[in-house]
Structure 1
Amino acid sequence: MSDVAVRGAQGAVDIEQVRRLRVARKEQVATDVVVLDLVDPDGAEVPAWAPGAHVDLVLPGDLVRQYSLCGDPADRTRLQVGVLREAEGRGGSLYLHDTLTEGDVLEVRGPRNNFRLEPAGSYVFVAGGIGVTPLIPMVAEAIAREIPFEVMYGGRTRSSMSYVDHLEALCGERVSVRPQDEHGLLDLAGLLGEPREDAAIYCCGPEPLLQAVEAASAAWPTGALHLERFSPKELEAPVLAGSFEVELTLSGEVLTVPPDRSIMAVVEEAGVPIVASCLEGTCGSCETVILEGEADHRDSILTAAEQEANETMMICVSRAACPRLVLEL
């Protein structure tokens, strides 16, 4: 097990451990979906985590991919992830499906949590396809805390939807399983058409579903909706078309970021270590404290309120909305 220095949202240098975990189980649980159970080769406990957390799997060829944890947080013997085979992806899922075998060892970073289950009087969980994985431990947490909830779970076909039997056994009538070839699109208007006080919506799935849930819940109280994206949102042109400066308070450097380069790339070139995984603004590993200036937030993690607060930014994709940013790096 090794340590990686991370300059993150707390400002100081944190230590994120990179663990080597063994694949104890690899099982196909639905069409194009495998589940991996990862354990410590020496029998040590895996790191603690909470519903909504994900880990980075470090794969051959410098590939780093994020997967939501979908097991039981109380089980410290293993971490469990579900992986959708994406034939048109960048190769990570194909490696995990086609090459990885039981007994192989993977480097694992994290867990990290950008999708925490916040306290609420009730929950509405909406899942699309493999997006069900982070919601499974949330549902279990709601049951354990005796908080009312309901689940709507959609996918292309029933055979492509993982954890259906588990959710039906766990939730009973509180889960609606709606394969598209049997029921059509999810009835989000019926589910979310009437705003509810003290309720929270948690949704994970493909971008069209997330946009549909955003539209259907537009009248809900601010902060009720919580989304986790697999891929970055479509972005408009940057606020500033030209270069800008970043001042790094911990290293004392002032750097110029040109239009065609990210803050992260310029900072790393200056010798400041940054741990990053997705490079798309979806994983949160490069979250950095803003001390002065206004960011042009281009990530897919921070809520609108968090972006407006302008306290942190994801330097892999976000830029400056002013001539100079002062960052705690």
Structure 2
Amino acid sequence: MAQNPEHVHHKMQVVTKESVADGVVSLSLADPDGGTVPDWQPGSHIDLVLDDDTIRQYSLCGEVSDRSRLRIAILRESGGRGGSRRVHDEVEVGDIIDVKGPRNHFPLVDNSAYLFVAGGIGITPLIPMIAQAESSGAEWTLLFGGRTRSGMAFAHDLAERHPDQVLVRPQDEFGLLDLAAALQTVQPGTAVYCCGPEPLLDATESLCATRDDIELHVERFAPKARVDTDTAGTTFEVVLGEGGREITVGEDESVLDALLREGVDADFSCREGTCGTCETGVLEGVPDHRDSVLTDEEQAENDCMMVCVSRSCSKRLVLDL
């Protein structure tokens, strides 16, 4: 079976590292031999493989047409798992980093009108989306919030280039974003794209649920709260479709846990159900979806699953592995 291009590793060199806001650095990555970087579209992210146990996902925020480099921006997460601190403190210009992707679970749909809502570092995937909306002649506006103006990466540049379409609202100056007012002004058919911390996503989802004439798209950097299911405390069988091998998944295991325990070469990254690296086709059975990538409609189709966090509602699950 040919390897999925999204799972291919690339050796890339750090060619620039700069501070773009308080606590945020931007890296530009290029082919060490001067070749072109992989194609990507707005909404894509890459994995930085810092070591075997430290793999982090960052949205691409550069220009899609620039085939010489990929650009990402990283917020220093003082309470995180250590990946962002390593990038801030240890990664230097000239370093060679293992990169996977690009991968896109947050694509920009074709539309004539967009409302972009960003919270903090959630602006990164929206930057190339805004560029594409602008070049296509679509109507668009950006509502951009953060704790402080100095910590909001790219805010000044965006507001300066698009003063009539960008509303920068740091919390220490304006309080919480007035999402209700922003959504009241959007026209029917508008596509709403939101990325940021979980409270912002939850609030946007709740408000958009009252409008059946707009289309909401969100991307999460952290897993959403999971609803307990009755599959905990049960075992089930996973069948590998290619060879028919059967593997028992224990009461407290994810599908990925069982695959790795049995030596199956399964691709994964975040192990939180947010990045989409471990997406696996489902040939038979009903997954117990616990990811934060697939929409409710996509989960209901039951033709794929994120094995790193998910289990099974049926006693037998046949996977395209």
Number of the residue aligned with 2:193: 202
1:238–1:319 Cα contact (<8 Å) kept:
no
For 1:67 and 1:131, how far apart are their aligned partners in 2?
10
Structure 2 partner of 1:262: 254
Structure 1 CA distance for aligned equivalents of residues 141 and 184 of structure 2: 15
What is the alpha-carbon root mean square deviation over aligned residues?
1.5
Give the corresponding residue for 2:30: 39
* CA positional deviation for 1:13: 4.7
Q: 2:241 aligns with which of 243, 249, 253?
A: 249
* Mapped partners of 1:46, 1:164: distance in 2: 27
307-316 or 131-140: bigger deviation: 307-316
Q: CA deviation at 1:22?
A: 1.0
In structure 2, which of residues 284, 303, 308 is the aligned counterpart of residue 311 of structure 1? 303
| Aligned positions, number | 319
1:127-156 per-position Cα deviation (integer Å, ceiling 9, x unaligned): 000000000000000000001011000000
Q: Which residue of 2 aligns with 1:9?
A: none
Q: Per-residue displacement from partner, 1:60-100 (whole Å, max 9, x unpaired)?
A: 35200000000001000110000000111111100000111
In the TM superposition, what is the alpha-carbon distance from 1:23 to its structure 2 partner?
0.9
Q: Secondary structure at the match of 1:103?
A: coil
Q: Percent identity?
A: 50
Shift of 1:222: 7.5
Match of 1:240 among 225, 231, 246: 231
TM-score (norm 1): 0.93
Paired amino acid for 2:81: R
Tell me which residue corresponds to 2:265.
Answer: 273
Q: Structure 1, unaligned stretches of length 5 or more?
A: 6-11
Aligned partner letter, 1:265: D
Cα distance between partner residues in 1 of 2:249 and 2:8 = 30
Aligned equivalent of 1:75:
66
Which structure would you say has the larger RCO, counting Cα contacts within 8 Å and 6 or more residues apart?
Answer: 1
TM-fit CA distance, 1:247 = 1.4
Equivalent position amino acid for 1:323 in 2: K
Residue 168 of structure 2 is aligned with which of 173, 177, 183? 177
Q: Distance in 2 between matches of 1:228 and 1:176?
A: 20
Residue in structure 2 matching 1:124, options 96, 115, 131 = 115
Among 23, 44, 68, which residue is 1:53 paired with?
Answer: 44
> Do the aligned partners of residues 75 and 157 (structure 1) sit closer, same or farther apart at CA in structure 2, a change above 3 Å counting?
same
What CA distance in whole angstroms lies between the structure 1 residues aligned with 2:272 and 2:218?
A: 16
Amino acid at match of 1:64: I
Contact 1:34–1:83 under 8 Å retained in 2 = yes
Question: Of 14, 21, 45, which aligns to 2:4?
Answer: 14
Deviations 1:106-130 (A, max 9, x none): 1111000000001122111000000
Deviations for 1:225-245, whole angstroms, at most 9, x for unmatched residues? Answer: 100000001112233131111
- Helix, strand or coil at the partner of 2:86: helix
- Whether 1:135 aligns to 2:126 is yes
State which drifts further: 216-225 or 113-122.
Answer: 216-225
Q: Distance in 2 between matches of 1:195 and 1:171?
A: 18
Superposed counterparts of 1:83-162, under 5 Å? 83-162=74-153
2:188/2:213 contact within 8 Å kept? no
Moved more, 148-157 or 247-256: 247-256
Change (3 A) 1:250 1:170: farther
Tell me how far apart the structure 2 counterparts of residues 311 and 239 of structure 1 sit (CA, whole Å): 21
Contact 1:246 1:256 in 2 (8 A): yes
SS of 2:210's partner is coil
Q: What is the DSSP-based 3-state SS (H/G/I as helix, E as strand, rest coil) of the residue aligned with 1:124? A: strand
> 1:231: which partner in 2?
222
Letter in 2 for 1:152: L
CA distance in 2, matches of 1:132, 1:48: 21
Cα deviations by residue, 1:33-52 (Å, 9 ceiling, x for unpaired): 00001111111111110000
**Please, which runs of 5 or more residues in structure 2 have no aligned partner?**
none
Secondary structure (helix, strand or coil) at the match of 1:80 reads strand
